[in-house]
Amino acid sequence: MGVVTSGSLSKGVEVKLDGRVSTEEMAVGRFVSIEGKKKRFFGLVTDVSLGAIDARMATNPPDMSDPFIAEVVLGSAAYGVLKVLPKLVWDVGTGQMQPAKTVPQPFQVVLEATQQDIDLIFGQEDEKRLVIGNPLDMEVKLCLNLEEFVSLSSGVFGRTGTGKTFFTHHLLNGLIQKSKAVNLVFDMHSEYGWSWRGQHGRQEYKALRQLFPSRVAVFALDEENARRRGLTPDFIVRIGYDQVEAPDIEILRDTLNMNELQVDAVHRVSHRLGKRWLSSFFEVGDRGEIAERSKEWGENEQNLGALYRRLDTLRRLPFLTPEVSEDAVDRIMHYLKSGVSVVLEFGRYRDYTSYILVANLLTRRIYDQYREQTEQARDDAGRPQPLVITLEEAHKFLSPELARQTIFGTIAREMRKYNVTLLVVDQRPSGIDPEVLSQLGTRIAFRLDNAEDIDAVLSGAEDRSELRTVLSRLETRQQALVFGHSVRMPVVVEVEAYGATDYYRRFGFLEPAEAKRQVDKDIEDLFK
């Protein structure tokens, strides 16, 4: 491709392109290798520019319509320049891969990376690695280390329509197929449990239950919606009044339009009335005893009346009931302990009040059980299987105002202390608390148009300014910048095409007719 001419470790090295290589064939985000004297460097193209040996050529350009002049000028007098950011070094003598701490000597040859280079850095697909796509402009497979992925919380970011939901599906498929974690998916848009249609409704895609019928359970918050779609959920989720605690109400302050005085009153009232505080408080308001109780409790009457009116809106949620016959958390834990992932569909209840209340309440109690099991375990064998909680619209839980109040902020900060991590999926990373973002081990960033969102995704990353250029130049669909704990260096990936027949076969799924033929063949082989 060219040779190294100048540069630095912090800003990247400059590469003068060979005259036979056109800048039009180069792209920001491309993966290249540099053959040093004793080491081999691997890096990412972060910029493409033009150069000339004489500055006067810019004001007095040669006649490029003449083929002979064009052949003489291009590559010698005028040439293309790549900026390459070295990230890794392969020591040929020791056979070790290390982070780049130096740069190659001048005039070392720059080459296109090969499948062998990709395998050397990212590994080949096996029981712990999942193919996630192809490096930019390369027809080779690139893998992500799932064991490293689940060891810390991670994030998938991108604007609507870029492919982040498909990629999240692919990650969950890999985690289930390779048994690297059980999953709890809060499915706000009913896309992960059963089949769903794409953005324009033209194609139907298979979800987790179709691909892994014995390893995925689907819970429903909206039974009517599930029945109308012809589905039979494994469990219908109901939340009892006595399961709602003051912190569950506090994080609803924005959606319920509560002020600081009303939030403080929630804590005092719940402490005074005990475990069944919400039912008791509803009874007080229903009997018109707000004025009487406000004097008894030392509360402001207007403030207490306003709190009652705001909490009363929760009674309109059909899944919130005075009593429950079976605890949803117990059922979820039963499946998770058995190695079965759980998808909770919200159906019609896509409002943020329902989503935030249910997701935070269930996760808080599930996390308490994981913490108890982990603390009681005497060795690694006694620890529960890693749990990954997938959370859409994550900024609603992890904003700077709420991150320290919700269980999700606690999980992100504790970094798998109790074998629980997050997979946050969001189109507005700038709305997530910077401290939480800094704890995300692996980040997968699709196209983001907002400058604040781009800066947020790259917060705390090495070579942030160079990666910003790469991220801002991604295609609008199916391209992502992957960096962090589970990949050895940042890389731009053309992600897997979700939904093709060959894709489903990789996860053991066969269409009914194809499955019948396979059964017939197995029977025939058995009795030969």
* Residue-by-residue pLDDT tens, the chain, 528 positions: 899 999 999 889 999 998 888 888 888 999 999 998 889 999 999 999 988 877 767 667 776 676 756 665 666 677 889 999 999 999 888 888 999 999 999 999 999 989 999 999 999 999 999 999 999 888 889 999 999 999 999 999 999 889 899 999 999 999 999 999 999 999 998 899 988 877 666 788 889 999 999 999 999 999 999 888 888 999 999 999 999 999 999 989 889 999 999 999 999 999 999 999 999 999 998 989 999 999 999 999 999 999 999 999 999 999 999 999 899 999 999 999 999 999 999 999 988 899 999 999 999 999 999 999 988 887 777 788 999 999 998 988 888 888 887 899 889 888 778 899 999 999 999 999 998 998 999 999 999 988 999 999 998 888 888 899 899 989 988 899 999 999 999 999 999 888 777 888 888 776 655 555 654 555 565 455
Between CA 207 and CA 499 the distance in angstroms is: 10
Helix (H) or strand (E) holding 246: helix 246-250
**Within a 13 Å sphere around the CA of 395, how many CA atoms are in the beta-carbon half?**
14
Q: Read off the tokens for 452.
A: 């604040």
CA nearest neighbour of 360 among 222, 438, 276, 243 = 243
Q: Which two tokens stand for residue 474?
A: 């991604």
C-alpha 249/C-alpha 113 separation (Å) is: 54
Distance from C-alpha of 303 to C-alpha of 312, rounded to nearest angstrom:
14
Provide the whole-model pTM: 0.88
Q: At what angle do helices 352-376 and 407-414 cross, to 10 degrees?
A: 40
Residue in 77, 32, 249, 155 with CA at minimum distance from that of residue 486: 155
Check: CB of residue 21 under 8 Å from CB of residue 40: no
Q: Is 97 exposed, middle or buried (0-12, 13-18, 19+ CB in 10 A)?
A: middle
Write out the E strands in 18-95.
31-35, 39-52, 78-91
CA 441 to CA 447: how far, in whole Å? 20
Distance between CA atoms of residues 15 and 520, nearest Å: 59
The span from the CA of 87 to the CA of 13, in Å, is: 11
- Provide the token pair at 343: 């998808």
What is the rounded CA–CA span in Å between residue 371 and residue 365? 10
What CA–CA distances, in Å, run from 495 to 57, 123, 128, 446? 41, 17, 18, 10
